[in-house]
């Protein structure tokens, strides 16, 4: 695993980003299948899309 993954997770946690966004970002970055429909939140969905694209451009929206 490259350091980008770990550095990004660390950055998101230090920013105080919602855990759902981080979980989505992690899943998208690792190309994991999405959660089942009843467990998907907006933060998770946006995080998943950002993770797939390897960006954190929407993370600010989900600061807690």
With 0.85 as the threshold, say if the pTM is over it.
Answer: yes
- The total number of structural domains in the chain stands at 1
- pLDDT tens digit sequence for 3-61: 999 999 999 999 999 999 999 999 999 999 999 999 999 999 999 999 999 999 999 99
Residue 61 is assigned to a structural domain of this protein: no
Question: Is 20 among the domain residues?
Answer: yes
| 64 part of a folded domain | no
* Residues spanned by the domain of 24: 3-52
Q: Which structure tokens are listed for 29?
A: 């970055």
The answer to whether 62 touches 21, Cβ cutoff 8 Å, is yes
Tokens representing 20 are: 């759902």
Asked if the structure places residue 35 within a domain, the reply is yes
Contact (Cβ atoms closer than 8 angstroms) between residue 21 and residue 43: yes
């Amino acid at each position: 695993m490259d350091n980008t993954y770990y550095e990004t997770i660390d950055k998101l946690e230090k920013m105080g980003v919602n855990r759902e966004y981080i979980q989505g970002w992690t899943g998208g970055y690792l190309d994991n299948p999405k959660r089942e429909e009843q467990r998907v939140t907006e933060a998770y969905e946006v995080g998943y899309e950002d993770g797939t694209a390897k960006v954190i451009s929407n993370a600010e929206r989900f600061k807690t």
